[in-house]
Chains A and B, each alone.
Chain A
Amino acid sequence: MPEAILEIRDLKVSFRTFSGRVQAVDIQSLAVLPQEILGLVGETGSGKSVTASTVLRLLPERKAIVEGGPVLFKGQDLLAKTEAEMRKIRGREIAMIFQDPMSSLNPVFTVGEPLTRIIAIHQGVSLKEARERALAALGRVRLPNPDKILGSYPHELSGGMRQRVMIGMALSSNPDLLFADEPTTALDVTIQAQILRLIDDLRHEIKASIVFITHNLGVIAKVSDRVAVMYAGNVIEVGPTRDIFHRPAHPYTGLLLKAIPRLGETRDKLPVIEGAVPVIRRPETGCYFHPRCPRRDDACREARPVLAPIGPGHYAACGKPA
């Protein structure tokens, strides 16, 4: 296995709330390999976005408690970096695309303002040179008339164009790692397909690793090389996309796949996973999934399973894997 670009070990993130500490992330192990697209899937609240924010150290310091680690990026622990060092990494070595392209762009500035500024800051060039590179960045995401778009305000652009601008911004400084946090969720279906195609096209040009965060398994199947499934803040299964979709080892993954509606299939009712994601404030003993698991037995109630190999590159944290 090649050296990972990002490696997370024993990472725990919790939040201080009025009703006590809430554990949001509890990852034993997660690695992102060079130039791969890793799909990070899970239900809402399973800790996908918090994981990304933790890596970039964007969580509010007074509310979030980050424990454990390290979080190794190109061999260096990000958790040990100073804020000034992190600022040099953000947007330059690790970039992020957010869910809603409307709210991600500042409504009272032209899209060129942040884009040009970011390029100037990270690449150490003049604003004039940065503008040239910004035009190139917009051209790279197949936006026509980059000159005009650079001077446009976000409300003058469509959702798809805005997301292209965000992608252009993310790639402007050739990052090594890109988090795409539900980049297509807020877009309508045809635009979704275009943006996915764009990401797929660009991955060969940019040579970056991409962590694609989504709750949409259809999207994951289309774009990713490997998939990591999260449940209650925990990575419970990881492996090549094909294996995850065809031979899911963890019962949760299996049930998740069954819950995808398929066209042409006549079913009275979409299968659901009984129960709800556990209140993560009080992690029970044993496997987090056992109260909802159809395959549980007494052992699942006691010991918490760790990620164990199932096949080549395929790991699952389950006491009774399929």
Chain B
Amino acid sequence: MRTYLIRRLLLGVLVFLGLTLVTFFIARVVPSDPAARWVGPRATVEQIARARAKLGLDKPIHVQYGRYMADLVQGDWGTSIVTHQPVLRDIKTYLPASLELTISGMILAVIVGIPLGVISAAHKDRAVDHLSRAFSIGAVSLPTFWVAMVLQLVFFGYLRLLPVGGELDLAIKLAYPVHQITGSYLVDSLITGNWVVFANALLHLILPAVTLAAYPLGLITRMTRSSMLEVLNEDYIRVARAYGMTERRITYLYALKNAIGPTVTVIALTVAYSLAGTFLIEAVFNWPGLGHYAADAVLAADYPAIMGVTILVAIFYVALNLAVDVVQAILDPRIKAA
């Protein structure tokens, strides 16, 4: 197990390095002059040249990369050209809201998607299965912004049950200040026992989380269904039946443990993707997440910010992949042996 982990970890570091390399060079070949942007539209040629020297852009590109990586490991992720703030500080501002949204959406997708996929497979070609398949195809193929707006229309517009957007009502934000610990209203209010804020934050989270959950929910359901169908045809499932095991035990224990692997991979990849890839949801629900920040950075050719978000997402990808490898090895003892 240990050598397996070390091998996976080293591979993760390599992937991470490769990713920074590719992003760095792509950001540099884009025909936009960061130095000119740094000093603004009315700068003189001389000012631009000075900015270029200050940002280190006059050095050869491999020197620039080396310097960037050296700064990176020391916690200096560069300074945003747009906000003129350290990129790491910007990320710290936006990340909690993104994590809050991603994690709650994924929890929803997992607790609905896996059982739905299992039930669908266990009742293949019956009414439940047809319904669940129609539902999962819909969840995967409906455009996110459309789902978001329909949910707003129904739950805010007609039913007046849930807020239309934002993280917290302004009145509550002002009346009940929250002591910042993690930066997430939901978590901080829970820790400090600030129930009014907690309830309000939870209400605000429901619609964006449901919207975010739709796509992975469909994916998880389909993935679970198809690998369950495969496993349910295996000999050891027939053997379990031949020895008088109950269908429930066979399905949810003996088959599911074999079938869950691909689903775990999908879950991890979707989490990493959702972190900065939920710009549309954030836009519709006015959610102050990382997707917003990333989209602004791209539009402004704010390359330190782009690099920062990319590296953050890369770290999440690598870490989650490592976690997946560990989970797979725990689920299936044959992986460790290989």
Q: What 0/1 pattern do residues 40 to 76 of A give for CB contact below 8 A with B?
A: 0000000000000000101000000000000000000
By a CB distance below 8 angstroms, the chain B residues around A91 are: 242-244
- Once the chains bind, are A153 and B244 in contact (CB under 8 Å)? no
By a CB distance below 8 angstroms, the chain B residues around A104 are: 235-236, 239
Alpha-carbon separation in the docked complex, A233 to B246 (Å): 30
Given A58-B238, A106-B254: A153 and B333 within 8 A (CB)?
Answer: yes
8 Å CB contacts to A: which residues of B310-338? 331-334, 337
- Once the chains bind, are A96 and B331 in contact (CB under 8 Å)? no
Given A103-B235, A106-B258, A109-B254: A155 and B333 within 8 A (CB)?
Answer: yes
Contact of B244 among A108, A122, A166 (CB under 8 A): A122
By a CB distance below 8 angstroms, the chain A residues around B234 are: 103
Q: Determine the residue in chain B with the shortest Cβ distance to A93.
A: B244
Q: Determine the residue in chain A with the shortest Cβ distance to B126.
A: A62
8 Å CB contacts to A: which residues of B231-263? 234-236, 238-246, 254, 257-258
Q: What 0/1 pattern do residues 100 to 111 of A give for CB contact below 8 A with B?
A: 100111111100
- Once the chains bind, are A90 and B244 in contact (CB under 8 Å)? yes
Closest Cβ of chain A to B4, distance in Å, is 15
Closest Cβ of chain A to B251, distance in Å, is 13
How many of chain B's residues have a CB under 8 angstroms from any CB in A?
Answer: 20
Answer yes or no: A260 CB below 8 A from chain B CBs: no
Given A107-B258, A108-B257: A58 and B241 within 8 A (CB)?
Answer: yes
Alpha-carbon separation in the docked complex, A107 to B243 (Å): 17
Q: Which of A113-121, A249-257, A276-284 contacts B (4 or more CB under 8 A)?
A: A113-121
How many of chain A's residues have a CB under 8 angstroms from any CB in B?
Answer: 30
Answer yes or no: A127 CB below 8 A from chain B CBs: no
Q: What 0/1 pattern do residues 66 to 94 of A give for CB contact below 8 A with B?
A: 00000000000000000000111111100
Alpha-carbon separation in the docked complex, A298 to B317 (Å): 76
Q: Determine the residue in chain A with the shortest Cβ distance to B242.
A: A96
Contact of A56 among B236, B242, B246, B258 (CB under 8 A): B242
Answer yes or no: A169 CB below 8 A from chain B CBs: yes
- Once the chains bind, are B243 and A169 in contact (CB under 8 Å)? yes
Chain B interface residues toward A at CB < 8 A = 234-236, 238-246, 254, 257-258, 331-334, 337
Closest 3 A-B residue pairs measured CB to CB?
Answer: A91-B243, A103-B235, A90-B244
Subset of 27 A-B contacts with CB under 8 Å: A87-B245, A88-B244, A89-B244, A90-B243, A91-B244, A98-B239, A100-B235, A104-B236, A104-B239, A105-B239, A106-B236, A106-B240, A106-B254, A107-B332, A107-B334, A108-B332, A108-B334, A109-B257, A114-B245, A114-B254, A118-B243, A118-B245, A122-B244, A153-B333, A155-B333, A155-B334, A156-B337
